[in-house]
Each structure stands twice: as C-alpha cells, then as structure tokens.
Amino acid sequence: MGARILSTAEQRRAELVEAAVEVFAETGYAGSTVAQVGRAAGISSAYAFKLFPSKSELFAAALTRGFERIDEVLRSAAAVVQDQEPRAILDAMGDAYADLIRDRSLLLLQVHGMSAGRDDEEIRAALRGGIVRIVRTVSTCSGADDAAVQSFIAFGQLCHLIVTADIAPTDGKWAEVLTRGIRHLD
C-alpha cells in the first residue's frame, strides 16, 4: 500500500499550518493575522481564509501540529532507550524535548496558546487536547507512575519558564534554585 497523495487543498492547508507555527510563535496570537500567515506560506489571503475561516481555527491547528511534533519526538526518544526503566525513558524524553525546543518556536507557540486559550474556547480545546496527548504519551511510553508523570510535566513547565524569561544560573541564588538540574541551558 503506497503513501496517500494529498490533494492541492490538503497540501496548501498543511503548508499554511506549518507557517502558522512559526508566525504565531514569533508574533503571538493577538499580533498575527491570517494574511501574514498566508504570506509566509506563499498563499493568498483569500485562499488562506478559505482554508481557515477564522484566526482561532488556524491557531488551534498550529497548536495541534506543534503537539503532534512533540508527541513524535517523545515517542521516538522512548523507543530507542536501552534501559527500559521508567526513569531512563523519562530522562531520554526530557532530553529530546529540550533539543526540540532549542529553536523556541514550539515552546513560544505553547506559551501563546496558554494566553490566547484563556479567552478562546477553540484554542483552549486544542491546548487541552495537546496536553492530554502528551500526558498519555509520557505515561504509556515510560511506564512511569502518575507522580513521576506529573513531575515530568511540571519540570517541563519549569523549563518553559526558564527559557521564556531567559533565566540563567548566574542571575543569583534564586536562579540557581530554579535552574538546578536543567541540562539544556545554553
């Protein structure tokens, strides 16, 4: 069975979503327009609006795509761990996620999603759906208990805070406390 060939509309929709990940990460939900995303994807504004009739629908699709990419990376990391102990798998997943967010786009998209989701049900649903997906993946792939999964997710959110606020261990004792054990700081 061969690979499914996407229609032109499906292909353009996927291109628009990929561009949306970058545009919304850079300028946020409030600071971006569907027309800007269309330009970034090389798609006219009219066609962009035909594919995604609202900005919140496009943002939700970008957020969902971001969580799909995170899920793919976490699953791949878990699959190659030699020591199949939960702690080793969680460590590998954490390292893979840290590598993934080095370019900041997926991290910033999540941060913007948390902010925009407060006032938009469609975005909130995409955010919640992504979180559900990641928690289930971490739990299933690692075999870790609920407390370890919660700690993993909480530690990930701490990493988001450290990266978005540009906190360095040299900023003082408070920063040393927050950054201890964070392996992906540049």
Structural domain boundaries in the chain = 56-179
CATH class of the region 56-179:
mainly alpha
Cα distance between residue 24 and residue 133, in whole Å: 21
Q: Which two tokens stand for residue 185?
A: 């700081």
pLDDT computed for residue 129 by the predictor:
97
pLDDT at 184: 57
pLDDT at 104: 87
Range list of H helices, the chain: 8-27, 34-41, 45-51, 55-79, 86-100, 105-116, 121-142, 146-164, 173-179
Alpha-carbon gap, residue 173 to 119, rounded angstroms = 36
Which tens digits make up the pLDDT trace of 34-78? 999 999 999 999 999 999 999 999 999 999 999 999 999 999 999
pLDDT attached to residue 183: 65
pLDDT tens over the chain, length 186 residues: 556 655 688 899 999 999 999 999 999 999 999 999 999 999 999 999 999 999 999 999 999 999 999 999 999 999 999 888 999 999 999 999 988 888 889 989 999 999 999 999 999 999 999 999 999 999 999 999 999 999 999 998 998 888 888 898 999 999 999 998 876 555
